[in-house]
Amino acid sequence: MGAGALAALRHAAPWSGVLCLNYHRIGSGAESVFDRGLWSADEESFDAQVRFLCSHFDVVAPPDLDGILKRRRGRHVLITFDDGYRDNYTAAFPILKSHGAVATFFVATGFIDDPALPWWDEIAWMVRTSTKGGLPASRWLAGPVPFDDPDREAAVRTCLRAFKSMPAADHAEYLEHLAGATGSGRCPDGPGATLWMTWEMLREMRSAGMTIGGHTVNHPVLARLPQPAQRDEIVACGRRLAEELGEPMRYFSYPVGGLDAFDAGTRACLRDTGVHYAFSYYGGYRTFDDWDDMDVRRIAIESELKRRALRAIATLPWLFGRSRRLRRTRDTT
């Protein structure tokens, strides 16, 4: 669609409501040995995206939602980040500040407290640093997984998908299996130590007007846990945020965030814990008529997104529901 057509549509078919965009990492992941699916935009693209959003929309933060939902008019955009990667502070934060824009950062407190490589980055590392030609079929891999593309992206995706489809009880054994079968061993601690933001960084961002929210402690898919374990993840996350930031956890995003990643028990627990708004991750946006405090929908931003595509999302957000691309991104984290 051309820029002129989009501009015409913006006037002809205006939406009203709350459009939330979600990012993970800012920078270039093209050469990374870790999970490249996590990079949402490089610095130049992110800068252009924030400039566009600030000039066309009301870029707001979760504390603004109470008033927005009372007034029930206008087009509002929330910029959000999940997980707590350090480039959110080193790369995204300066760009946001330069535009006077606010954003929300949902952090898994376990990554901040005990920095280590998460399973998705470690699996990518094991595959990419392997000197083998591929992986044999196994209890977890239905067929052989060749390392035949130059960047091994397909093999990484296959190994990540296998992790997500097995019971949580098998995860540790699967990682050990991959360590042996790739010949890479387990990733040493080094890269994990500087991968995440620190509490000091988060406090500085909050002082500059950013919002910090919860994303559990250990990043599990909450709906797959028994109710007491869900509660432990949510309550402990809220407790660490309160201890470090001096304010209760009012905003939360569901790890993975698909419709099946949270359930009625998750919602009830979040309400009991004092969370005002919880954010999902399966695409789409919310109008004032279909608003749901515990399922504020978000659209994934991906690194290959072209400038015009962001204009399309912001102009016609209802088209960006559960597309194939969004499902793939959602599957990543």
Q: Stretches 74-82, 123-131, 136-144, 262-270: which one binds Zn ion (CB under 5 A)?
A: 74-82
Nearest-approach distance from CB 332 to Zn ion, in angstroms: 9
> Which CB sits closer to Zn ion, 182 or 216?
216
* Contact status: 130 vs Zn ion (CB under 5 A): no
Neighbours of 319 (CB within 10 A): 11
User: What's the closest the beta carbon of residue 164 comes to Zn ion, in angstroms?
Assistant: 13
DSSP character at residue 90: I
Can you tell me which of 17, 18, 78, 82 binds Zn ion, judged by CB under 5 A? 82
- The span from the CA of 135 to the CA of 58, in Å, is 49
We find the least distance from the C-beta atom of residue 64 to Zn ion, in angstroms, to be 23
Cα dihedral sign, 64-65-69-75: positive
Judged by beta carbon, residue 182 or residue 333, the one nearer Zn ion is 333
Q: Rule CB under 5 A: is residue 333 a binding residue for Zn ion?
A: yes
Nearer to Zn ion, 83 or 87 (CB): 83
302: number of Cβ within 10 Å: 18
Distance CA 6, CA 4 (A): 5
Judge contact between 80 and 253, C-beta under 8 A: yes
Shortest gap between Cβ of 119 and Zn ion (angstroms)?
12
User: In whole angstroms, how close is the CB of 178 to Zn ion at the nearest point?
Assistant: 21
Q: Shortest gap between Cβ of 333 and Zn ion (angstroms)?
A: 4
Which of these ranges, 173-181, 196-204, 250-258, 314-322, lies near Zn ion under the rule CB under 5 A? Answer: 250-258
Q: Which stretch binds Zn ion (CB under 5 A): 40-48, 91-99, 253-261, 306-314?
A: 253-261
> Is residue 84 packed enough to be buried (19+ CB in 10 Å), middle (13-18) or exposed (0-12)?
buried
The two beta strands, 75-83 and 58-59, are: parallel
Q: Which helix (H) or strand (E) holds 59?
A: strand 58-59
Gap between the Cα atoms of 85 and 195, Å rounded: 6
Q: Which is nearer to Zn ion, 205 or 314 (CB)?
A: 205
Which residues lie near Zn ion (CB under 5 A)?
Answer: 82-83, 255, 333
